[in-house]
C-alpha cells in the first residue's frame, strides 16, 4: 500500500453555463497536478456547470451537455492522476448533484449529494433529488469519502463514509460568502473530524456569480482539528497537499498557510470581486454612474475603479438648482482622485421642459414628492441614454438602508444593471470609505491614498431634491435606522424586539411599514453583492401585496 498520497486542490473560478471554458480550467489544473506527481486532482462542487446554476441545470439539453463534457474530460485526462469534479447526473427521472471521479478515461465513481440545502440562496430541494448514503471511492489503494458541501454540515454522511472504510474526507464545495461564514464552516468541519477521527480536506470555489461571491479559503484539517493548510480567500490558486500514512492512519503534512483579512476588507473585496466578475462574465467592459458628491456614489466609484480600472469608469454629475457648490466640488474631487472620466450634465433645461409639459395636467396641485422624483427620473433617463450610446453598464448606488425603506426613486436613481453596495448599511458605508482611504491592496486597480475626502464622509447625507433637504427629514438618523433594520431584517425580529432594544415603538412601526411597502421597488431593483445572510433577493423573499403588520 502507498504511504503517501498527493492531492492537488484547484480553488478556481468557473462561469455558469460555460462548459467549454470550465472544462479547459479543469484540464489545466489536471495537467498541473500531473506535472507535480499528484494522485488526485480535485475541483469544487458543480464545477463543470458553474454554481449556483439555479433552474438552468434542470434544462435537459444543458444537463445532457454537462454530462457529456465530464465524459470528454475523462477521455482527455486518461493518462495521469484521477480527476474529481462536480456536475449534474441523471438516473432515470432523477437529477442529482454529483461528484465524479474520473480515472483511466472514464467516470470511475459517482458520489451523489444527500443533504440538499433549501435556505438562504439555495433551492436544491426544488432542483435536485437526494442521493442515498453511500460509501467511499478508491484511487489506487486509498479509499476517500466525499461529502458534497451541505453533506459535511451533518453527521450522518461523514460517519457512514468512515464506517465503510474512508481513510480521509475530501469535501467539494460551492459555498458563497457572508460575513463570518469561514468560522461557521470551520466549526462544522472540525466537528466532522472529531466525530470520524479522519483528516478532512475542504475545497471551495472562488468568484462572483450574480449576487454571490464564492470566497475560497480552502483548508485541510488533521485529526483533532489541527489546521495543516489554509489557502487564501478570493484568489484562484492550486495547492498540492501531501497525505502521509503512519501508524495512526493518514495525516496531512503542513503546507501553505494564508492569513485571512478582517471583515471590512473581506466585505470590500466581495464588492470588488462581485462587480469585476459580473462584468467579465456578462461581457461588459465599462461602467458609468451618477456621482452626486455623497458617500454612496463615492464608494461605488472607488469600487468600480478598483474592479475595472479608471479607464473603464465614467462618473457623471447631473446637477439641478438644488445641487450645492459643495456637492459639485466633492464629486469632482472623487473623480480626480480616482483618475476616471468626469462629465458634467446639468438637468435644468430638461427638468424645465418636463415641468412645462406637465403644467396643464398639474395645474391646481401644489408641488410635492412628484417634482422631486422627476429630477431623479430625469437623471436616470440621461444616464441610461449614455449607457446605451457608449455601451457602458450603469451602476446604481443605493445602500441597504435606502433599499430597505424605499428611500430611492424607482426608474430614477434605482435605474441600472448592478449595485455593489446593495447589502451594505449606510453606517457601514461610512466605515468602508474610511477603510478604503487608509488601505490599498494589490488586487485593487485604483490608486492608493485618500480617494474620498473627509468632508464628504462627515457632511449630513442629503438627496438634494429640494432646498435644505436632509435624509434625516424623512428617516431616523442612520445609526438608529440601521440598528432597527438589523433587528427587523437581518435578525427577522419584531417591533417588540426593537422596543426591548430601547427604540421607540412609533419609530419601529414606521420603519417596519416602510420595509413592507417598498417590496415592489426591491422586486425591480438591480442585483448587488451579497455580504450578509439576509441580503435582499434570494435570502429574503416577501410578497409584494401584503397587508400584515406586526401587532406587537
**Average per-residue pLDDT in the chain?**
96
DSSP characters over 172-216? EE--B--TTHHHHHHHHHHHHHHHH---EEEEE-EEEETTEEEEB
Give the Cα separation of 289 and 380 in Å (integer): 10
Percent of the chain whose predicted confidence (pLDDT) is above 70: 100
pLDDT at residue 408 tops 50: yes
Reported as type and span, the H/E element at residue 38 is none
Label residue 472 by pLDDT band (50, 70, 90): confident
Among residues 545, 527, 547, the alpha carbon closest in space to that of 536 is found at 527
Catalytic pick among 25, 77, 113, 498: 113
> What pLDDT does 2 receive?
58
* CA end-to-end distance (rounded Å), the chain: 67
> What pLDDT does 467 receive?
83
CATH number of 4-260: 3.60.110.10
Q: What is the pLDDT of residues 214-239, one digit of tens each?
A: 999 999 999 999 999 999 999 999 99
Average pLDDT over residues 385-411: 96
> What pLDDT does 310 receive?
98
Average pLDDT over residues 485-512: 97
Give the Cα separation of 334 and 75 in Å (integer): 54
Write out the residue limits of the CATH 3.40.50.620 domain(s) in the chain. 264-471
Quick check: is 442 catalytic?
A: no
> What pLDDT does 473 receive?
82
Average pLDDT over residues 256-275: 97
> What pLDDT does 179 receive?
96
Give the Cα separation of 38 and 50 in Å (integer): 24
Q: What is the pLDDT of residues 3-18, one digit of tens each?
A: 999 999 999 999 999 9
Q: What is the pLDDT of residues 498-511, one digit of tens each?
A: 999 999 999 999 99
User: What are residue 550's phi and psi, to 5 degrees?
Assistant: -60, 120
Give the Cα separation of 248 and 314 in Å (integer): 61
pLDDT at residue 271 tops 90: yes
Write out the residue limits of the CATH 3.60.110.10 domain(s) in the chain. 4-260
Average pLDDT over residues 157-170: 97
Quick check: is 113 catalytic?
A: yes
Q: What is the pLDDT of residues 74-125, one digit of tens each?
A: 999 999 999 999 999 999 999 999 999 999 999 999 999 999 999 889 999 9
Starting at the edge strand found earlier in the chain, the sheet holding 142-145 runs 137-139, 142-145, 168-173, 200-204, 219-222, 226-230
Among residues 203, 444, 431, the alpha carbon closest in space to that of 295 is found at 431
Catalytic pick among 45, 392, 464, 512: 45
Residues 96, 128 contacting (CB under 8 angstroms):
yes
Label residue 530 by pLDDT band (50, 70, 90): very high
Distances, alpha carbon 290 to alpha carbons 214, 259, 281, 294, 492, in Å: 29, 37, 24, 10, 33
Give the Cα separation of 434 and 450 in Å (integer): 9
> What pLDDT does 462 receive?
82
Domain 264-471 belongs to what topology? Rossmann fold (3.40.50)
Catalytic pick among 25, 77, 124, 149: 149
Q: Which residues of 128-152 are buried (b: 16+ CB within 10 A; e: fewer)?
A: bbebeebebbbbeebbbbbbbbbbb
Q: What is the pLDDT of residues 416-459, one digit of tens each?
A: 999 999 999 999 999 999 999 999 999 999 999 999 999 999 99
- Under DSSP, the state recorded for 39 is S
How many C-beta atoms lie closer than 10 Å to residue 223's C-beta?
18
Q: Which residues of 342-371 are buried (b: 16+ CB within 10 A; e: fewer)?
A: beeeebeebbeebeeeeeeeeeeeeeeeeb
Among residues 423, 369, 377, the alpha carbon closest in space to that of 532 is found at 423
Q: Are strands 393-394 and 287-290 parallel, antiparallel or unpaired?
A: parallel
pLDDT at residue 1 tops 50: no
> What pLDDT does 474 receive?
84
Retrieve residue 387's grid coordinates. 449607457
Give the Cα separation of 349 and 327 in Å (integer): 20
Q: Give the position of cell 468632508.
A: 455
Give the Cα separation of 26 and 172 in Å (integer): 14
Give the Cα separation of 330 and 459 in Å (integer): 11
Give the Cα separation of 498 and 129 in Å (integer): 41
> What pLDDT does 447 receive?
98
DSSP characters over 397-455? ---HHHHHHT-S-TTTTT-SSBBTTTTS-HHHHHHHHHHHHH---TT--S-SS--S-HH
pLDDT at residue 186 tops 50: yes
Amino acid at each position: 500500500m502507498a504511504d503517501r498520497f498527493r492531492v492537488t486542490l484547484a480553488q478556481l473560478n468557473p462561469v455558469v453555463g460555460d462548459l467549454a471554458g470550465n472544462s479547459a480550467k479543469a484540464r489545466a489544473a489536471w495537467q498541473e497536478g500531473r506535472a507535480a506527481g499528484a494522485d488526485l486532482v480535485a475541483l469544487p462542487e458543480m464545477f463543470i456547470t458553474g454554481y449556483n446554476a439555479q433552474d438552468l441545470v434542470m434544462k435537459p439539453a444543458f444537463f445532457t451537455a454537462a454530462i457529456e463534457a465530464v465524459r470528454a474530460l475523462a477521455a482527455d485526462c486518461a493518462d495521469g492522476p484521477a480527476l474529481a469534479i462536480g456536475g449534474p447526473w441523471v438516473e432515470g427521472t432523477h437529477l442529482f448533484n454529483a461528484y465524479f471521479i474520473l480515472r483511466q478515461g472514464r467516470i470511475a465513481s459517482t458520489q451523489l449529494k444527500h443533504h440538499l440545502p433549501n435556505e438562504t440562496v439555495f433551492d436544491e430541494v426544488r432542483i435536485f433529488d437526494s442521493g442515498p448514503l453511500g460509501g467511499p471511492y478508491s484511487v489506487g489503494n486509498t479509499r476517500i469519502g466525499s461529502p458534497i458541501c451541505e453533506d459535511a454540515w451533518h453527521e450522518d454522511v461523514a460517519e457512514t463514509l468512515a464506517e465503510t472504510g474512508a481513510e480521509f474526507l475530501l469535501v467539494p464545495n460551492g459555498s458563497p460568502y457572508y460575513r463570518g461564514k469561514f468560522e461557521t464552516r470551520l466549526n462544522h468541519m472540525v466537528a466532522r473530524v472529531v466525530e470520524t477521527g479522519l483528516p478532512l480536506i475542504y475545497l471551495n470555489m472562488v468568484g462572483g456569480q450574480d449576487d454571490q461571491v464564492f470566497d475560497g479559503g480552502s483548508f485541510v484539517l488533521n485529526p483533532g482539528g489541527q489546521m495543516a493548510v489554509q489557502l487564501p480567500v478570493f484568489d484562484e490558486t492550486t495547492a498540492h497537499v501531501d497525505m502521509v500514512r503512519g501508524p495512526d492512519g493518514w495525516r496531512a503534512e503542513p503546507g501553505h498557510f494564508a492569513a485571512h483579512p478582517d471583515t471590512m476588507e473581506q466585505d470590500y473585496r466581495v464588492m470588488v470581486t462581485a462587480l469585476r466578475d459580473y462584468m467579465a462574465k456578462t461581457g461588459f467592459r465599462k461602467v458609468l454612474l451618477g456621482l452626486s458628491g455623497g458617500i454612496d456614489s463615492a464608494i461605488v466609484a472607488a469600487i468600480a475603479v478598483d474592479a475595472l480600472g479608471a479607464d473603464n469608469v465614467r462618473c457623471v454629475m447631473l446637477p439641478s438648482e438644488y445641487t450645492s457648490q459643495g456637492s459639485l466640488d466633492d464629486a469632482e474631487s472623487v473623480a480626480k482622485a480616482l483618475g476616471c472620466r468626469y462629465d458634467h450634465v446639468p438637468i435644468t433645461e430638461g427638468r424645465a421642459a418636463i415641468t412645462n409639459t406637465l403644467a396643464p395636467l398639474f395645474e391646481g396641485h401644489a408641488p410635492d414628492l412628484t417634482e422631486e422624483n422627476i429630477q431623479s427620473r430625469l437623471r436616470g433617463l440621461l444616464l441610461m441614454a449614455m449607457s446605451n450610446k457608449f455601451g457602458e453598464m450603469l451602476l446604481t448606488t443605493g445602500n441597504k438602508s435606502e433599499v430597505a425603506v424605499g428611500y430611492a426613486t424607482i426608474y430614477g436613481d434605482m435605474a441600472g444593471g448592478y449595485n455593489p453596495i446593495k447589502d451594505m448599511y449606510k453606517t457601514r458605508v461610512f466605515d468602508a470609505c474610511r477603510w478604503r482611504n487608509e488601505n490599498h491592496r494589490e488586487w485593487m486597480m485604483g490608486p492608493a491614498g485618500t480617494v474620498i475626502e473627509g468632508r464628504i464622509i462627515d457632511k449630513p447625507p442629503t438627496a438634494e431634491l429640494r432646498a435644505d433637504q436632509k435624509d434625516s427629514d424623512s428617516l431616523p438618523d442612520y445609526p438608529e435606522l440601521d440598528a432597527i433594520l438589523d433587528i427587523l431584517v437581518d435578525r427577522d425580529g419584531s417591533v417588540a424586539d426593537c422596543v426591548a432594544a430601547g427604540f421607540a415603538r412609533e419609530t419601529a412601526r414606521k420603519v417596519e411599514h416602510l420595509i413592507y411597502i417598498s417590496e415592489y421597488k426591491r422586486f425591480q431593483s438591480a442585483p448587488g453583492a451579497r455580504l450578509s445572510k439576509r441580503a435582499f433577493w434570494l435570502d429574503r423573499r416577501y410578497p409584494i401585496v401584503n397587508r400584515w403588520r406586526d401587532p406587537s
